[in-house]
Amino acid sequence: MTDVHPDELDGEGEELPRMTLLDHLDELRRRLFSSVLAIFVAFIACWYFSPTIFHWLQQPILDVLPEGDQLAFTDLAGPFMLYIKVALLSALFVASPFLLLQVWLFLRPGLYQRERRLAVPFVVFTTLFFIAGGLFGYFVAFPMVVKFLLGVGEDFKQVVTIQA
């Protein structure tokens, strides 16, 4: 048996695999490249659907605007930049399972078996809470904030723009 420092063993005598600094950096480079590629592919797909996605996202605002009003833009590139932002944020959301997998694959070799077992409930509950938080934000918080902010300026002519 090789000489192993007691800090490198878990309670059951499991030894962690060893990697050099360059091995770690190479692994990190591969994971980052895969992640950027996944975001790019998702961005291309989301770019095609960005007008549809935006129409869905703007619905809580349109529900509180007076009948016949619509969102406006004040500069020529406004709609283009809006769709770029929508596509990028949607791509991050769509690619997030793959991105989290890359993080897991990078971290996994450095975890003991008992620590790996804790990952499954963590991922499941984190995913459920993330989705629940997004749904709460879209269906409850966002409409309330829009109503409040438009109500503050009720004495003025409102022009709600697409600029962030």
DSSP string, 77-119: THHHHHHHHHHHHHHHHHHHHHHHHHHHHHHGGGS-HHHHHTH
pLDDT in tens, 29-86: 999 999 999 999 999 999 999 999 999 999 988 888 878 888 899 999 999 999 999 9
Quick one: tokens of 140? 């409850």
Do residues 87 and 50 touch, judged by C-beta distance below 8 A? Answer: yes
Quick one: tokens of 129? 């809470």
Residue linked to tokens 């063993």: 9
pLDDT in tens, 109-158: 888 888 888 888 888 888 889 889 989 999 999 999 988 988 888 788 88
Residue linked to tokens 């809006």: 82
Tell me the pTM.
Answer: 0.76
Long-range interactions of 39-45: CB distance < 8 A, separation 24+:
39/91, 39/92, 39/95, 39/99, 40/91, 41/95, 42/90, 42/91, 42/92, 42/94, 42/95, 43/87, 43/88, 43/91, 45/91, 45/94
Interhelix angle for 78-107 vs 119-136, to 10°? Answer: 160
Q: Residue 62: which H helix or E strand, with range?
A: helix 59-64
The pLDDT value given to residue 159: 83
CA dist., res. 56 & res. 104, Å (int): 32
